[in-house]
Amino acid sequence: MKNLRLKKDLIFFGRNYYFLIINFFILVGIIYKIYNFEYTIVQGKVIERIGDNMPIKENIFNSGIPLDKKKIIAVKGKLKPTGNEPRIKIKNINSTLYETNSNDQGYFRMRLRKGIYTFFIVFEDEGYLNKFDKSGDFKSLNINKDKEKIYLIYDRNLLN
């Protein structure tokens, strides 16, 4: 009698155990689909260009000096500059900011949701980007595939 009850209990708990495992994997699959496909990995390099670089005879990205340990921000959406300046005060940005730092070779990596972003190199309390689109906004990028590669160029002292 006791063995029969033990056998029924094992069958009952065994079925519940399999039920819990199956539900766990279904839940993991749902979470993976929801969160993983919305994000992409953005990789890039920050370089500084100094001196007279005109005309460009070599690959622009191999000719610069890597900026190490620099803060990089990605701002969700497009931004209008204040005046014709290639910089903007960080405190004046009302959109969502995502931050990372470049390594000692100037490379950085971010995990972002797919969408339009404007990338800046941060110097003290200002973001720097010397690229503009046709309408006069800071140049933004449409991040929509995995492992996007971008280059940020600091050229403030280009002719010095």
Q: How many domains does the chain have?
A: 2
pLDDT digits (tens, 9 = 90+) for 45-69: 998 887 655 555 555 555 678 889 9
Residues 54 and 116 in one domain: yes
Whether 112 contacts 154, CB under 8 Å:
no
Residues 8 and 86 in one domain: no
Residues 6+ apart with CB under 8 A from 139: 118, 129, 131, 132, 133
SS3 151: strand
Residue 65, domain extent:
40-154
Q: With respect to residue 90, please indicate whether it lies within any of the assigned structural domains.
A: yes
Residues 78 and 23 in one domain: no
Give CA 160 to chain center in angstroms.
32
**pTM for the model:** 0.71
Whether 44 contacts 25, CB under 8 Å:
no
Cα four-point dihedral sign 126, 81, 109, 157: negative
Residues 128 and 56 in one domain: yes
Chunked into runs of 10 residues, the chain (160 residues) has average pLDDT values of 59 65 79 70 87 55 78 93 87 92 93 91 91 90 81 70
